[in-house]
């Protein structure tokens, strides 16, 4: 299930549907996180107002992103942090490698960060002989199994306890067990020795506060605290969209993110790090480096619909709520970010050419929009991307060819609009369709012989019922019966 690509989404999804063990795991996810979320959002008095406020803060930030980033970097530098800018993933990897080389380090620990997954940082480091150790339990499992995360919050959700136990027996030499506490303790013991020797710690960032230059990272396990406290050098990778204006704004996001992500009122730990320690003998790293990464993000600012993607706080609620994700899981998307948010972010980050199927991996039911803590209109984004695909942007077709290509389609819609605006013609059209459909559609399916003759209908009705014209239209019923009734 690991090396799937977005290009083969249809096949990936079909294979996933046959994986009963995966579907059991997903069922568990939906029930646990979905229901916990529903309960815990009742513990704030106005969830809607909170979501609106969060979105407002994000919109304000994104509209002046350049200013807030400059304010953030100024304040972080004042507190002793070093700021790096990276246009793309390659530049991030180069910066990280240079920082590791600068202190001749070989022992690198990592806490969970989707941004580092996005740019395949581990591969880049491994190619240079550095083996970073993932320390989040889920990420460590995935690393040991040489797989990729299938969920942005619980990366190993697709694996059973039995599979994890077998993996630990093989890789760490423990006795066979089915006790989650034993497995967890094994991870603690093995990873403690890694932490003890770690020279560099790499983390992500949940929020960067412009007003103070603070970065905030949330977690439950404590591995982020260890990663950011023990090694001499701390490197934090931060997407440019992670900045928020005010320290007080954290209040809003700390109420939204844990509730939406894991159904908790607050995660166990929050680390708020502002620059470096003040005295040499104090606790914490000597150096704090923050890498600000664009990697396709600034492009999304160019339209209000796509700009919304940058409001995402990576809670994963849309994954848990999505009827498509619920059935096929994360790997089928063939991308680092799965689910509804992945279906809109991945094509924007990596281009539509190889991700054309993703914006269609949705029934547009709107469940994602409903649960999104920052009210991202994901269905609108999916439609926006579908429009780009239809316009041929994915294939790099020129505007001229696009007009030509769409000539037939436009003619059909012109005709359609001509008919629908004239009631006599419309009525006549309905009668005509009723007559002709008899030969073509039966019980919602295209008649077998006709499927090939009427190409769109054949493909369409393979998975869906074809809409049939009713035996009597409402207009006819009205004229013949209803208008004569006087109650």
Partner 1 sequence: MTNTASAKGEILASIRQNLAASRRFDTVYNEHHIPADRVAGSERHDEAIGLLSRFKSNLDAVAGKCQVVHNDREAAVAIQNIVDDLKPLTIAVSDSDIINDLIDRINTDATVLKNASKGELFDCDVGVTTAQWAMAETGTLVLESGRERSRLTSLLPPVHICVLDAKNIRGTMGEILQIIQNDLSRTVTFVTGPSRTSDIELTLAIGVHGPRELYVIVISDETNA
For partner 1, the binding residue among 1, 15, 17, 44 (CB under 8 A) is 44
| Segment interacting with partner 1 (CB under 8 A) among 263-271, 317-325, 330-338, 354-362 | 263-271
- What number of other Cβ atoms are within 10 A of residue 39's Cβ? 10
When the beta carbons of 67 and 423 are compared against partner 1, the nearer one is 67
CB of 5 to partner 1, least distance (A): 26
CB of 398 to partner 1, least distance (A): 20
**CB distance 243 to 72 below 8 Å:** yes
Q: Is the dihedral of CA 195, 201, 204, 206 positive or negative?
A: positive
Residue 156 to residues 13, 29, 148, Cα–Cα distance (Å): 18, 11, 8
For partner 1, the binding residue among 69, 202, 345, 361 (CB under 8 A) is 69
Residues 6+ apart with CB under 8 A from 478: none
CB of 207 to partner 1, least distance (A): 12
Examine residue 304 and tell whether it contacts partner 1 (CB under 8 A). yes
Examine residue 300 and tell whether it contacts partner 1 (CB under 8 A). yes
Residues 6+ apart with CB under 8 A from 228: 111, 201, 203, 217, 234, 236, 271, 273, 284, 285
Residues in contact with partner 1, counted by CB under 8 A, come to a total of 102
485: buried, middle or exposed (CB in 10 Å: 19+, 13-18, 0-12)?
exposed
Nearest alpha-carbon partner for 465 in 476, 457, 477, 475: 457
CB of 76 to partner 1, least distance (A): 11
Nearest alpha-carbon partner for 185 in 197, 196, 172, 198: 172
Q: Which residues pair with 219 in a beta bridge?
A: 269
247: buried, middle or exposed (CB in 10 Å: 19+, 13-18, 0-12)?
middle
For partner 1, the binding residue among 225, 434, 445, 472 (CB under 8 A) is 225
CB of 483 to partner 1, least distance (A): 38
| Segment interacting with partner 1 (CB under 8 A) among 26-34, 115-123, 321-329, 414-422 | 26-34
| Segment interacting with partner 1 (CB under 8 A) among 244-252, 360-368, 419-427, 430-438 | 244-252
When the beta carbons of 347 and 458 are compared against partner 1, the nearer one is 347
CB of 319 to partner 1, least distance (A): 14
Examine residue 135 and tell whether it contacts partner 1 (CB under 8 A). yes
| Segment interacting with partner 1 (CB under 8 A) among 24-32, 322-330, 336-344, 387-395 | 24-32
- What number of other Cβ atoms are within 10 A of residue 96's Cβ? 27
Q: What is the largest CA-CA distance in the chain?
A: 93
Examine residue 226 and tell whether it contacts partner 1 (CB under 8 A). yes
| Segment interacting with partner 1 (CB under 8 A) among 2-10, 222-230, 331-339, 359-367 | 222-230
DSSP 280: T
**Nearest-angstrom CA–CA distance, 366 and 444:** 26
Examine residue 352 and tell whether it contacts partner 1 (CB under 8 A). no
Q: Which residues pair with 243 in a beta bridge?
A: 208
For partner 1, the binding residue among 1, 79, 365, 469 (CB under 8 A) is 79
Examine residue 262 and tell whether it contacts partner 1 (CB under 8 A). yes
Residues 6+ apart with CB under 8 A from 219: 111, 112, 136, 225, 267, 268, 269, 270, 271
When the beta carbons of 5 and 56 are compared against partner 1, the nearer one is 56
- What number of other Cβ atoms are within 10 A of residue 410's Cβ? 10
CB of 24 to partner 1, least distance (A): 10
For partner 1, the binding residue among 43, 106, 401, 452 (CB under 8 A) is 43
- Residue 361 has φ and ψ, to the nearest 5°, of -80, 50
For partner 1, the binding residue among 26, 76, 93, 95 (CB under 8 A) is 95
Binding residues for partner 1 restricted to 400-439, rule: CB under 8 A: none
| Segment interacting with partner 1 (CB under 8 A) among 243-251, 352-360, 427-435, 455-463 | 243-251
For partner 1, the binding residue among 119, 202, 292, 318 (CB under 8 A) is 292
CB of 297 to partner 1, least distance (A): 9
Residues 154-193: x/- map of binding to partner 1 (CB under 8 A)? xxxx-xxx--x---------------xx-xxx-xx--xx-
């Amino acid at each position: 299930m690991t090396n799937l690509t977005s290009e083969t989404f249809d096949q990936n999804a079909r294979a996933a549907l046959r994986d009963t063990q995966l579907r059991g795991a997903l069922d568990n996810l939906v029930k646990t996180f979905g229901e916990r979320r529903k309960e815990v959002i009742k513990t704030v008095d106005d969830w809607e107002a909170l979501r609106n406020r969060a979105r407002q803060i994000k919109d304000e930030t994104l509209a002046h992103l350049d200013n807030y980033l400059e304010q953030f970097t100024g304040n972080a530098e004042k507190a002793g942090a070093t700021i790096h800018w990276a246009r793309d993933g390659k530049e991030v990897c180069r910066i990280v490698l240079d920082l590791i080389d600068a202190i001749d380090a070989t022992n690198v620990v990592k806490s969970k960060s989707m941004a580092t997954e996005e740019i395949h940082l581990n591969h880049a480091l491994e190619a240079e002989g550095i083996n970073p150790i993932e320390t989040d339990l889920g990420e460590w499992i995935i690393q040991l199994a040489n797989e990729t995360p299938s969920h942005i919050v619980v990366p190993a959700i697709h694996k059973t306890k039995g599979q994890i136990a077998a993996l630990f027996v093989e890789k760490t030499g423990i006795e066979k067990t089915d006790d989650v506490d034993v497995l967890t303790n094994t991870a603690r013991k093995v990873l403690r020795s890694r932490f003890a020797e770690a020279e560099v710690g790499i983390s992500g960032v949940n929020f960067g506060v412009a007003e103070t230059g603070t970065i905030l990272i949330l977690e439950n396990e404590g591995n982020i605290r260890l990663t950011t406290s023990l090694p001499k050098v701390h490197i934090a990778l931060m997407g440019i969209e992670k900045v928020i204006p005010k320290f007080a704004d954290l209040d809003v996001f700390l109420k939204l993110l844990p509730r939406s992500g894991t159904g908790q009122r607050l995660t166990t730990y929050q680390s708020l790090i502002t620059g470096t320690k003040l005295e040499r003998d104090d606790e914490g790293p000597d150096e704090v480096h923050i890498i600000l990464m664009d990697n396709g993000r600034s492009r999304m600012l160019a339209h209000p619909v796509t700009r919304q993607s940058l409001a995402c706080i990576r809670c994963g609620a849309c994954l848990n709520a999505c009827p498509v994700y619920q059935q096929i899981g994360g790997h089928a998307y063939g991308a680092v970010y799965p689910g509804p948010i992945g279906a809109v972010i991945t094509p924007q980050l990596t281009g539509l050419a190889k991700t054309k199927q993703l914006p269609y991996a949705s029934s547009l039911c709107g469940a994602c929009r409903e649960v999104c803590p920052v009210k991202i209109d994901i269905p609108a984004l999916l439609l926006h991307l579908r429009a780009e695909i239809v316009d041929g942007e994915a294939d790099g077709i020129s505007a001229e060819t696009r007009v030509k290509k769409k000539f037939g389609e436009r003619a059909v819609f012109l005709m359609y609009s001509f008919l629908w605006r004239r009631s006599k013609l419309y009525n006549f059209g309905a009668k005509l369709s009723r007559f002709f459909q008899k030969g073509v559609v039966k019980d919602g399916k295209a008649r077998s012989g006709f499927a090939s003759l009427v190409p769109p209908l054949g493909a369409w009705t393979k998975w869906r019922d074809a809409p049939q014209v009713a035996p009597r239209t409402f207009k006819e019923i009205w004229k013949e019966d209803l208008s004569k009734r006087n109650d």
